[in-house]
Structure 1
Amino acid sequence: MSRRVLAAALGCFCLSAPALAQTAPLSLTPADQTLISQVETYLNAEKGLTANFLQVADDGSTRTGKAWLERPGKMRFEYDPPDPQLLVAGFGVLTYYDPQLGQTSNIPLSSTPLGILLAKHVDLTSAGVAVTAISREPGEDDITLVRKGKESEGTLTLVFATDPLELRQWVVTDAQGHQTRVSLYDVMPGGPYPDSLFQFSAPGNNSNFNSGG
């Protein structure tokens, strides 16, 4: 399975493409720094959640399912029937399963933009992460991030609702400007979850964890 096929599975988490344009770090204003500090405090306080999700690809196609996220480094996305794909992150590895092709792909979570969000301690201005854009609209703040030295892996835009601050969406943009948008709804705090939830087991094999309960 190529990285581009895996990327298409969920939000273009990793990409094999030319270096992205316009990824220079943003010169942060005091207001920007205040927003980033608030977002970091919020993200670091949120250890886990469950949510339903809507994924919209650049071509307008949509997919839905259920998500579990737990920091550090754990995530599970189950797509609703009849879509059989499964994506699981845990223990430093991101696994994508496509039963139609009979293939399973694994890549390091650290090679994906979403690894920034799932870090043990979220630091959006660390040595390895750069803020490249901040936009503000009524009721919404967007922060675009890139891994320094790994710009070819894509940019990650975190979309937050305001008052109260809440992560509602992320957008990954590839080198050609194609975007995949993942929106979260029915978000509920949760965790800790059993480790088996983040260990890959092909759908239909309930020996590890039955997430439908």
Structure 2
Amino acid sequence: MTLTPQDQADIARVETYLNGLKSLKAHFLQVAPDGGLSEGTAWMERPGRLRFQYDPPSPFLLLASSGVLTFRDASLQQTSNIPLSRTPLGILLAEHVSLSGAVTVTGIQRQPGQLQLTVTRTASPGDGSLTLIFSDPPLALRQWTVLDAQRRETRVTLYNVQTGGTYDQRLFDQIVIPAGTPQNPH
């Protein structure tokens, strides 16, 4: 893909925005590859920390910490661990987000009020892609779509986004359930 000067300017704006985004808390709506809907609360703290606390009846918990993405399915009593560096979300959670070199921008779309960038890992595009969707102006992360290595798409939309908070680091440990969060009875 050949980048126009406008593309390069938008990529630079997105890098500046993401590198300035140190923490985030939001309500999310997730559409799974099979069309199933889940909701919950997401916390992100860069670099490398993420928690998706799914509301009941969903049995899922998604965590990123210490370079590992952990997916827990309480209904099956199964936990999967993947190196964060092998996932598209690792791009978003990097200490310094750079959308060149180790990351390749494979698509840019502009619509009124919206900017969309699709990125892959340059060395391993087969691991999947991450499409970041921003409201613009002002630039603000509102949604992302992960296309995994099996070409399955998961879309996450963020609502009631609060940026700049500080969170208890135990939040990113799968044992802790945040105070005031509904607990899954499973």
Normalised TM-score (structure 1): 0.80
Other structure's SS at 1:197 match: helix
Contact 2:118 2:129 in 1 (8 A): yes
State the partner residue of 1:197. 171
Structure 2 gaps of 5+ residues are 182-186
State the partner residue of 2:120. 146
Tell me the distance in 2 between the aligned counterparts of 1:38 and 1:182: 22
Q: Percent identity?
A: 55
State the partner residue of 2:99. 124
Pair 1:211–1:120, CA change in 2 (3 A): farther
Other structure's SS at 1:124 match: coil
One of 133, 137, 140 as aligned partner of 1:166: 140
The RMSD of aligned alpha carbons is 1.6
Write out per-residue CA displacement over residues 122-151 of structure 1, whole angstroms, 9 at most, x where no aligned residue: 1111x2110011011111111000001212
Looking at both structures, which has the greater relative contact order when contacts are Cα pairs under 8 Å and sequence separation is at least 6?
1
Contact 2:128 2:151 in 1 (8 A): no
Matched AA of 1:199: D
State the partner residue of 1:30. 5
Tell me the distance in 2 between the aligned counterparts of 1:211 and 1:69: 17
> How far did residue 180 of structure 1 move?
1.7
Aligned residues: 181
State the partner residue of 1:85. 60
Other structure's SS at 1:152 match: helix
Write out per-residue CA displacement over residues 29-70 of structure 1, whole angstroms, 9 at most, x where no aligned residue: 100000011111111111001000011123322111100001
Structure 1 gaps of 5+ residues are 1-25, 202-207
Choose between structure 1 and 2: higher strand proportion.
2
> How far did residue 175 of structure 1 move?
5.7
Normalised TM-score (structure 2): 0.91
Superposed, 1:94-113 pairs within 5 Å as: 94-113=69-88
State the partner residue of 2:180. 212
Tell me the distance in 2 between the aligned counterparts of 1:109 and 1:177: 18
Using the TM superposition, name which of 137-146 and 186-195 deviates more: 186-195
One of 108, 111, 118 as aligned partner of 1:134: 108
Tell me the distance in 1 between the aligned counterparts of 2:109 and 2:142: 15
